[in-house]
């Protein structure tokens, strides 16, 4: 949920993959699961804008076990 210029995912030829993953995650949270993630994502975006985001906030809004959410996201990606 957070990265910086020193993050290995955002260096060299990986930047396009990181950007693509970020884009598909946001698209999924807005449109996937028949809209079930839209409200929690809106809450997360508001928290992030207030400097209160991060993994703890994300897990509070989307559940402590993020594995099922990640699996649903990857299934969604396959149909974009």
Which pLDDT score is estimated for 51?
95
The CA–CA distances, whole Å, from 68 to 51, 61, 65 equal 26, 14, 7
CB 61 within 8 A of CB 40: yes
Which pLDDT score is estimated for 12?
72
CB 24 within 8 A of CB 76: yes
Q: Which of 44, 50, 12, 4 is nearest to 25 (CA)?
A: 44
Q: How would you write the pLDDT of the chain (80 residues) with one tens digit per residue?
A: 566 667 776 677 777 777 888 899 999 999 999 999 999 999 999 999 999 999 999 999 999 999 999 999 999 999 98
Which pLDDT score is estimated for 1?
57
């Amino acid at each position: 949920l957070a990265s910086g210029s020193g993050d290995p995912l955002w260096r060299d030829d990986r930047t396009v993959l990181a950007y693509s993953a970020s884009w598909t995650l946001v698209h999924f949270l807005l449109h996937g699961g028949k809209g079930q993630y839209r409200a929690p994502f809106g809450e997360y975006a508001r928290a992030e804008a207030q400097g209160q985001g991060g993994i703890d906030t994300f897990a509070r809004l989307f559940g402590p076990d993020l594995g099922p959410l990640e699996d649903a996201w990857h299934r969604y990606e396959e149909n974009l």
